[in-house]
Chains A and B, each alone.
Chain A
Amino acid sequence: MTAVEVAPTSAKAQPRIPRRKMRPITLEVIGLAVGALAWEIVGLAKVSRFLPPLDDVVGRIWDLLQSGQLREPLTQSLSNLLIGYAISVGIGVTVGTLMAVSKYVDYALRIYVNGLMATPSILLVPILYVVFGLSSFTLIAVIVLYATVFIVANTRSAVLGARHDLTEMSQAFGTHPVRGFFEVTLRSAGPEIFGGLRLGMGRAVKGMFNGELLIAVVGLAQIERTYAGAFDATGILAIALTILIIAVALTAALEALNRALNSWAVSHSRPSS
């Protein structure tokens, strides 16, 4: 019989303590810092006169804020954005849900949703201008046009893919189908619906700027147009950076809301046993 050699166990053997992982927010900050540093270096190297260093651009934003030049256009743009986005959410979630629950509504509207998703929204902006004229109503309509269809498509897909086993369970316990739909089906689709809302927010920001640029030349686009006419690269990038900050801040706010409402889907707890 062959003896089996057993490796001696070290008396000092200790369980391996896993290294502490970096938090996602830390990684995001590092990513931003690296990008900012790269921009600053390229800007200082004067690779192109149209790419000034980052600190010049940030300084211009600060000057615009200090002088009050940014306040009114920013307020105008943001209020249009928030009104347009709120309308998009209302229409998008309602229509998307109706498409998911009724095949008749789905058949009737699917072609429009698919068509609008494939068509560049910018092509339809002049039509809105003709219909609504030169007013902030047109700018809001452009935002709605840009954002709504993506919210509709995502809501439809979220409700169709919701946990229907939970709906049946709720019915087994005597829940009224309508109550079960709102309390169980729609709730289980919540995280996916929020995915569409985030996408819609990005589209709404695009719609806000394109609308201002193409129709009224007001708000942030008005300042942008002025800088573009003067070939002022620092000014152009200052407005672009402002819009980027608005988009990131609003998306982060939505994400925070998603985490608060749907923490069960966002958390990644492991089963205990």
Chain B
Amino acid sequence: MVERDVMVQVDRVSKSFIKHAKRGKVDVVPVLREMSLDIHRAEFVSIVGPTGCGKTSVLRAIAGLLPIDGGRIVVDGREVNGPGRERAMVFQDPTLLPWASALDNAAFGLKQRGIRKVERRARAQEALDLVGLGHRSGALPQELSGGMRQRVGIARALAVDPSVLLMDEPFGALDEITRRTLQDQLVRIWEQDKKTVIFITHSVEEALYLSDRIFVMSHAGHIIETISDLMPRPRTREQESSEEFVMLRAKIWEALS
């Protein structure tokens, strides 16, 4: 039975990839081994860990894009069997349709859900305004900078008004200044309607600045540390040099090393 305030429950989830070796043999590579975690409603959690530890795999499994071998994933009381309306994903690469304007890209999810054109354009415009790109709604992706494209990707996810926002290293490919601007923007948006956010990142500092809780993963979905007592909100950039921030960062690095 899922607890009332648990929004996402990952319950003993396993996933392996089959690698074809020489002479017809197969290698089974486990990426998630009986992984379990609970994420509460309106919570912003980050998952940090080294490359190949299974962070993206668990996120794709929650999104319904990666079928699991064992265990179960429950989102908002319903078991995940594929992509669903209550979830929306922001990818590391913005994955925008190159032939569609920023507005049409932001409206993509709404179109797939059968929302009428007038309504979906209004909602997409609202989402673009929210990420500060309302003035570039007619621009094609190739006319936008990397940061702007990623903001369109976020707007596309926000436009469908999901209960759970899944973000796979969305700022990983951006420069430091743009990354910080988008982090601030994300915090502002999240504080407005408190969606449940699962945020994958390599950056310990990013996780500390954004999250309510941080899961530190080592390999095959093994959670080696859960950091809950993070700094109170609202947070400022100045806090990044505070003793508390430095200690938390050291704690995570210690777990990772």
Contact = CB atoms under 8 A, between A and B. Distances in A.
Interface of A: 163, 165-166, 168-175, 184, 187-188, 262-265, 267, 269, 271-273
Given A166-B97, A184-B97, A171 B145 contact: no
A39 B218 CA distance: 73
Contacts of B142: 264, 267, 269, 271
B228 interface: no
B31 interface: no
A271 B140 contact: no
Interface of B: 63-65, 83-85, 88-89, 91, 93, 95, 97-99, 108-109, 112-113, 139-140, 142-146, 148, 156, 160
Contact of B160 (A173, A175, A188, A271): A173
Contacts of A168: 65, 95
Across the A-B interface, the 5 shortest Cβ-Cβ residue pairs: A264-B99, A173-B109, A169-B95, A172-B89, A175-B112
Given A169-B91, A172-B83, A269 B97 contact: no
Given A165-B93, A188-B98, A264-B98, A170 B112 contact: yes
Mostly, the B contact residues are loop
Contact of B88 (A163, A172, A175, A272): A172
Contact of B108 (A173, A188, A264): A173
A174 B148 CA distance: 24
Contacts of A169: 89, 91, 95
Given A165-B91, A184-B97, A271-B143, 16 more contacts: A166-B97, A168-B95, A170-B112, A172-B64, A173-B83, A173-B88, A173-B108, A173-B113, A173-B156, A174-B85, A262-B99, A264-B142, A267-B140, A267-B142, A272-B145, A273-B145
B95 A166 contact: yes
